[in-house]
C-alpha cells in the first residue's frame, strides 16, 4: 500500500513492510484456517520479530 512512499522515508526513519497473509506474495489461507482480523495480523507481526 505504501510501496511508493517507503523510499521517501528510509533516510529519516526505519521502515518495516511485513507481508501479511492474503497480501503481497504471501498465500491467502482459507477463512476457516486463518481469521482475517487486526488481532491476528498483529500476532503474525509479533511472530516475525
Average pLDDT estimate for 19-37: 88
Q: Where are the domains of the chain?
A: 1-49
Q: What's the rounded Cα separation, in Å, for the pair 22 and 25?
A: 8
pLDDT at 49: 62
Quick one: pLDDT band at residue 22, thresholds 50, 70, 90? confident
pTM for this model (two decimals): 0.59
Q: What's the rounded Cα separation, in Å, for the pair 10 and 46?
A: 22
Of residues 5 and 48, more confidence is placed in 5
Confidence check: pLDDT of 46 > 70: yes
CA atoms within 13 A on the CB side of 20: 16
Helix (H, G, I), strand (E, B) or coil at 31: coil
- In SS3 terms, the chain reads as CCCCCHHHHCCCCCCCCCCCCCCCCCCCCCCCCCCCCHHHHHHHHHHHC
Confidence check: pLDDT of 39 > 90: yes
Amino acid at each position: 500500500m505504501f510501496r511508493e512512499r517507503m523510499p521517501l522515508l528510509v533516510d529519516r526513519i526505519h521502515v518495516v513492510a511485513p507481508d501479511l497473509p492474503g497480501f503481497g506474495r504471501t498465500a491467502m489461507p482459507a477463512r476457516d484456517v486463518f481469521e482475517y482480523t487486526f488481532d491476528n495480523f498483529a500476532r503474525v507481526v509479533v511472530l516475525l520479530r
